[in-house]
Structures are given as C-alpha cells and as structure tokens.
Structure 1
Amino acid sequence: MSYLINRSHPGGPGSAGHPGGPGLPVPPAVAGDNGPGTGTGTGAGARTGFGVPGLAHPLLAPDEWNALTRPGGAGPLHWVVLDVADGPGVQPDPSCLEAAGRLRNAGVRVLGRLDSAYGLRDFGELVSDAHRFTDWYRTDGFLLDRCPADRAALPAVRRAVHALRTIHDGAHIVLGHGTHPHPGHADIADQLVTFSGPWSDYRWSQAAEWTVDHPPERFCHFVHGVPRSHLEEALRVARWQGAATVWFTDRTDRDSRVGPWEPLPGYWDEVVSRVGTGVSE
C-alpha cells in the first residue's frame, strides 16, 4: 500500500525547477487568503501556531525563554517542550520550574520530553520520568520523542500513552515520530510529528494519503535550516500538507555545540509576525 500523495505546493514536488520532472500547477494565493490556515487547501480553517521542540536549559538560554512570554511577542504558541536533562533530571530544577510556571501562567501548554529511544526504552523508566515531570514541573502533557512508527509498535505505544493519561488526566500527548507513521498511530495520541528534519528535504516532501482524514490540528512539522527568504514558502508547505503546529528555524544540525532546536530562530520576531501575535491556547 502506498501512503504518499503528491500535494503540489509552491516550490514543492512537481513545481517548476524541481529536478524530479515537468512542472505541475501550483496552488495559487486566493482572494481572502491571509496566510497559513486560511483560504483553500488541506489546512483550510486551521490556525497555524508554534510547537517548540526543546530550547536549551533556562540557565543557558534565559533570553530565549523570556522571549516566549514577552507580551505581544510570543506568537501563537500551541505548546513548549521542557527537557531538563535528557528528561526530567534526577531532582527538581528551580530554574526550569520557574520557566515552566511563566509559560503556564501565560496560558501555554508545557510538555515534558520523554525519550522512547524508538521503542527500546524501558517502560518503567518512561513512566517514572512522566511522574517526575508531573510532580516537579506540573507539565500539561508529554512529547514521546523518538517514537517508533511502524505497525508492530502500535501495542507498545498504545500502552505507553494509556499509562501517561493515567498519570495525568487530560494530558496532551504528542508522538514524536519525525516521519509519517503507520496510520494506526493517529488513533492513539492528540498530535503526531510527521516531519522532523532539514529544509532541503522538507521543501520537496509529500504528505501521507491517510492524513487527509484528520484535521491539521493533529499534525506537527519541525524544520531546521530554513532560510529567511523561504519562510513564506515553508509556511505554505505546512498549510498545504495539513500541519497546524510548526517550528521553523534557520539553525542547522551542522553545529556540534548545540542542536538546531536549542536556540530561537535568528528571525524569531519575523516568523512571529508572519504567523500572528499574542500568546494563545
């Protein structure tokens, strides 16, 4: 069974200049199209916002954390991931508790990062980390990072998510596959990360056929290495592929000192202005 469908988008597969073949029609900007999440297309009606996959520790990046709660400057934040020390750490961290508290007071969900290690992580360790995030930082849910994506993993992922919802009633659960998983995963969690990688891959990417049966609010895209000049194109790719939660950054994975998600984008204020102002949800 094929899971991929080519939804043409500006600069995407089949567009003029793409090495894969002749040009195909590109979805135009329509009258009344105010940007991602409006107008026609897969993402019509959805409100695009940010999912922050994990800034550096607040002591190392205080300005970045402060920028997320700056009045009128945080943009529509859907949620922010808290990663204290490859998880919740071994004891409560006051600076992380303070940073998480400021976000929650601003009405922003804070998710604890749990590393599934592609299904190799011990179930008991995963549950223990979830308890620590809930007890120490009062997180609103969890990002199950490096989540296995195949059909065989469904029972284990379902068991893990059930345990997380038992720990935190009403928890917001995001499965961090980083690719399109088997469609059965969509029935387990609130959101799926169906792309995580470089702009060079994202701009030619395709959406899975089964995603059209779900609203854009169910999908997240994390893209690094997005040039400032291609921000609008990246937002249109997300919109036409039906992903309402995004994180675009000009940082890359070529810098060995920090990961691409740890700093804020160099064009943070600009991307905020493109998506919208004011903390939401």
Structure 2
Amino acid sequence: MTVPLLLVPLYVHPGVAPDAWRAVAEAGPARVGAVVLNVADGPGAAPDPAFAEAGGRLRAAGVRVLGYSDTDYGRRPHAAVVDDLLRYREWYGVEGVYFDQASAHPGALGHYRRLATAARAAGCGTVVLGHGTHPDPGYAEVGLADLLVTFEGTWDAYQDLVPPVWTGRHAPARFCHLVYEVPADRAEQFAKLAGGHRAGLACAVSGPGPNPWDTEPLGLRR
C-alpha cells in the first residue's frame, strides 16, 4: 500500500503543543510533504518568535513550510492576500503559500492565476489552493497551483467521496485530502482510502471542528 505524504495544517501555537510540532519535524520529509504555518488566520500583526523557531526547525529537518492566507472564496482583495504572503516570507522564511478558502468556480480562475503569479514572484516555490472540494477542472491547469486540496471534511463524508473523472488526467501528487473526526484506529484504513481516491498528499486527525487541526496527524509516528 502506498501511504500518501502528509500535508499538515498544524493550526496550534508551538508553545501550546510543542510535542506535536516536534513530532512533525522528527518525521521529516520522508513522511511530511509540507506543514501549513497559520499564525492568526494569516501572518499576524507582528512576528511571533515561537512560530519563527518552529518553522526554522521544520526547514532544518527538510520539511517545506507554507504560509497561510485566507482568500475568502475570491472575495478578499488581491493586495491583502499578497501582503500576507510577503509578511510570511519576511518574518518566517516560508517556502510556499496555502491559499485557503479558495473558490471552486471557474469565474475566479483569473483571480487565482494572478495570486499564483504574485506568490512565485515573491519566492514561493509551492502554491496550494485549499478548495476543500473538487473545483472546476481549470484549477488543475499547468502553471496555476502545484497542489489542490479537493476535500476537507469529516471521516463519514470522506467514505462516500467519488472523485470526478477529470482528476484521473492528473498525477496523484496534484491532490490533497484533509479529513477530521477520524477514529484513532482507522489510520491505515484512511491511508488506503486516500490512495484509492488518488490523493498523493493527505492528513487525518481525530479532532472535531471548528478547528480540528490542533494536534499531530494520525499515523505520524510509524
């Protein structure tokens, strides 16, 4: 069984959950494809030394670090989103960006092309669009995003997921699934299901909403 790499949205302060941050860094790039650093639904108003240290530890371990920016489904102004990623680059040295709450509608494609272009011009080597659902196929076009998060939801809903046919035209490494409320004893079942859904990256946690991403992923410590 091929186990998907982890994309870890570790949305908890390093001072609150130091063991989780340490475990992700120790797992290294063989298990962790990237970690999303979310200071305050964005970079925050000023640099946070604890996040800077935690991000530096991840980079030293060879794990990519992505800055988090909420795009409000295409409604947030381009300049505000770009300001987020510039601050993340300056304060935390991130290597990529996670554009969350990304629109799935084809009418917003131009907006996200401009954001992806700005991110790469700012030095972001990895651009992720967090749709949370399968978007219009145009979002998978070459040169837009490196990775699409095409599912974010509960374990119960994930078991009923049927990926659209167009996803089969792309490599699994282009897709990521984020699943919460996964029973602790279902880590292997989740990995098998994610592989069957053609997700090259994935993350499962046992916590519920509204922020289930405050603990380390299931199956991290192998």
Asked if the contact 1:118–1:148 (Cα under 8 Å) also holds between the matched residues in 2, the reply is yes
Tell me how far apart the structure 1 counterparts of residues 119 and 77 of structure 2 sit (CA, whole Å): 14
Task: Please give the per-residue CA displacement for 1:45-93, whole angstroms capped at 9, x wherever unaligned.
Answer: xxx21000133011222121111123x5886100000011111111111
Tell me how far apart the structure 1 counterparts of residues 114 and 14 of structure 2 sit (CA, whole Å): 32
Percent identity, aligned pairs only?
41
2:125 counterpart residue number: 171
Q: In the alignment, residue 112 of structure 1 is paired with which amino acid?
A: G
Moved over 3 A (4+): 72-75
Q: In the alignment, residue 185 of structure 1 is paired with which amino acid?
A: Y
Q: Give the 5 Å matches for 1:71-110.
A: 76-110=31-65
Q: Aligned match of 2:137 in 161, 183, 199?
A: 183
Q: Give the 5 Å matches for 1:3-152.
A: 35-36=1-2, 48-70=4-26, 76-152=31-107
1:217 counterpart residue number: 173
Q: Aligned match of 2:201 in 245, 249, 260?
A: 245
Tell me how far apart the structure 2 counterparts of residues 241 and 175 of structure 1 sit (CA, whole Å): 18
RMSD of aligned Cα (Å)? 1.6
Aligned residues: 220
Q: In the alignment, residue 162 of structure 2 is paired with which amino acid?
A: Q
Tell me how far apart the structure 2 counterparts of residues 249 and 90 of structure 1 sit (CA, whole Å): 29
2:186 counterpart residue number: 230
Q: Aligned match of 1:260 in 212, 216, 221?
A: 212
Asked if the contact 2:205–2:212 (Cα under 8 Å) also holds between the matched residues in 1, the reply is yes
The alpha carbon displacement at 1:230 in A equals: 2.5
Tell me how far apart the structure 1 counterparts of residues 52 and 183 of structure 2 sit (CA, whole Å): 33
Tell me how far apart the structure 2 counterparts of residues 167 and 53 of structure 1 sit (CA, whole Å): 22
Asked if the contact 1:82–1:113 (Cα under 8 Å) also holds between the matched residues in 2, the reply is yes
The structure having more radius of gyration, on CA atoms, is: 1
Tell me how far apart the structure 1 counterparts of residues 180 and 38 of structure 2 sit (CA, whole Å): 19
Asked if the contact 1:55–1:264 (Cα under 8 Å) also holds between the matched residues in 2, the reply is no
Report the 3-state secondary structure (helix = DSSP H, G, I; strand = E; otherwise coil) of the residue aligned with 1:69. helix
TM-score by length of 2: 0.94
Tell me how far apart the structure 2 counterparts of residues 113 and 141 of structure 1 sit (CA, whole Å): 9
Task: Please give the per-residue CA displacement for 1:20-40, whole angstroms capped at 9, x wherever unaligned.
Answer: xxxxxxxxxxxxxxx125xxx
Tell me how far apart the structure 2 counterparts of residues 73 and 118 of structure 1 sit (CA, whole Å): 32
Q: In the alignment, residue 213 of structure 1 is paired with which amino acid?
A: R
- 5+ residue gaps in structure 1? 1-34, 38-47, 274-281
Tell me how far apart the structure 2 counterparts of residues 238 and 272 of structure 1 sit (CA, whole Å): 18
Tell me how far apart the structure 2 counterparts of residues 229 and 106 of structure 1 sit (CA, whole Å): 28
Report the 3-state secondary structure (helix = DSSP H, G, I; strand = E; otherwise coil) of the residue aligned with 1:260. coil
Work out which structure has the larger RCO, using CA pairs closer than 8 Å and 6 or more positions apart in sequence: 1
Report the 3-state secondary structure (helix = DSSP H, G, I; strand = E; otherwise coil) of the residue aligned with 1:205. coil
Asked if the contact 2:7–2:33 (Cα under 8 Å) also holds between the matched residues in 1, the reply is yes
Q: Does 1:159 align with 2:114?
A: yes
TM-score by length of 1: 0.75
Asked if the contact 1:68–1:74 (Cα under 8 Å) also holds between the matched residues in 2, the reply is no
Asked if the contact 1:64–1:264 (Cα under 8 Å) also holds between the matched residues in 2, the reply is yes
Tell me how far apart the structure 1 counterparts of residues 117 and 29 of structure 2 sit (CA, whole Å): 32
Query: Could you tell which deviates more after superposition, 234-243 or 98-107?
Result: 234-243
